Amino acid sequence: MSNDSREALMVGRRSDGSIVRRPLSPHLQAYDMLQMSSLLSILHRASGVALTAGVLLLVWWLVALASGPAAFAAVQWFLGSFLGLVVLFGVTVAGWYHTLAGIRHLAWDAGYGFRIPEMYRSGRMVVVGTAVLTLLTWVFAIIAWVS
């Protein structure tokens, strides 16, 4: 038997005196976290937390711009580095996902889109929309960069 005190309440004895572990309700291990409804919900929270990085970059960029050319060159160097580009790409994906999934949540708050087929359709629209907007953002950003 486990030493976990929480399991003490779940331990019983058979009529012959031998110990038996009573069954528990299904919990996370029995719950499919990769179904669209829960996965998109988890990703909405995760993308929101991840966007903290984007906020920090924006504040750094603004403060550097106000501080002068040397500080600005440092932030531009980071944003153009491999790590900086990876972070910027992640912020782009998280930003568009959080925006689109947020609009989906606002529609739910207003009482729309609760039927299961609608829920799956709006979920697919959020995923496809995130991919399309991320691609468009980077295509236009690279065009602006080289021109």
Partner 1 sequence: MAEGVKRLQTPLGRVRGLGSARSGTHHWWMQRVTSIALIPLTLWFALAAIGLAGAGYEASVAFVANPVNAVLLLLLAGVTLHHLASGLQVVIEDYVRAEGVRLAAIWGVKAACLVLALFAAVAVLRVAV
Q: Per-residue x/- marks for partner 1, 53-82, CB under 8 A?
A: --xx-xx--xx-xx--x--xx---------
> Whose Cβ is closer to partner 1: residue 105's or residue 127's?
105
Which of 4, 16, 32, 109 lies at the binding interface for partner 1 (CB under 8 A)? 109
Phi, psi (degrees; rounded to nearest 5) at 40: -65, -35
> Whose Cβ is closer to partner 1: residue 11's or residue 59's?
59
Q: Which residues contact 65 (CB under 8 A, 6 or more apart)?
A: 71, 72
CB of 67 to partner 1, least distance (A): 8
Could you tell me the two tokens for 69?
């050319």
Q: Considering the rule CB under 8 A, would residue 19 count as an interface residue with partner 1?
A: no
Residue 67: C-alpha distances to residues 42, 53, 58, 72, 76 (Å): 38, 21, 14, 7, 13
By CB under 8 A, the count of residues binding partner 1 is 30
